[in-house]
Amino acid sequence: LSSLLGVEIKPDVPVDYSKYLKTILAVQAAGVGAYLAYKFVNLSMLGRNLWAIATIMFVLLMTSGFMWNKINDPPYMGQTKSGEIALFVPTNNQQFGVETQIVAVTYAVCALCIVVLVKHAPKIQSADQRTFVTLVFVLVLMLMFSYLNSVFRLKMPGYPFKLLLE
């Protein structure tokens, strides 16, 4: 119409109040939910083990690179020049989505081994069973830690430490 009539016509787009309404309702719902949880749920009855597990899971998730993936939105996997699947980017400035999951699981296995060795292995009554459990979990811990070191060496070739794996 502007070109036909020779008069500049500007569209007047109304304000979309629905997104503001959704945000207000979500904040109110979260507030009501938090109030009801505080009033009717005794958080101490959930136990310190549940809080410890939740804390460890949160720390493992954040240290594995989850937030970097959320912010930068990298591809899930890559491909080498020869066409093979690449799970790790050989630089410390980038990473694939699957790398976060692999590192998080490796960290979780290491944390589980430490918890079992510190809390549960000493309580085993039989000396033979206690020795066997200790050796198995120490071996698993060494293998997982060695794998983490090999991943770090892949990402930073100058990384000076290694344990079992190259």
pLDDT over threshold 90, residue 62:
no
Tokens coding 87:
């799970």
pLDDT at 114: 92
Better pLDDT: 122 or 1: 122
pTM here is 0.63
pLDDT over threshold 80, residue 42:
no
CA distance linking residue 77 with residue 93, whole number of Å: 15
The confidence band for 166, taking pLDDT boundaries of 50, 70 and 90, is low
Q: 82-95 burial, b for 16+ CB within 10 Å, e for fewer?
A: eeeeebbbeeeeeb
The confidence band for 111, taking pLDDT boundaries of 50, 70 and 90, is confident
Name, in order, each residue with C-beta under 8 angstroms of 108's C-beta and a sequence gap of 6 or more. Answer: 56, 57, 60
Average of per-residue pLDDT across 1-17: 80
pLDDT over threshold 90, residue 21:
yes
The confidence band for 88, taking pLDDT boundaries of 50, 70 and 90, is confident
Better pLDDT: 137 or 97: 137
pLDDT over threshold 90, residue 97:
no
CA distance linking residue 152 with residue 65, whole number of Å: 13
pLDDT at 45: 67
CA distance linking residue 63 with residue 61, whole number of Å: 6
Mean pLDDT (the chain, rounded): 85
pLDDT at 43: 66
pLDDT at 78: 86
Share of the chain above pLDDT 90, in %: 22
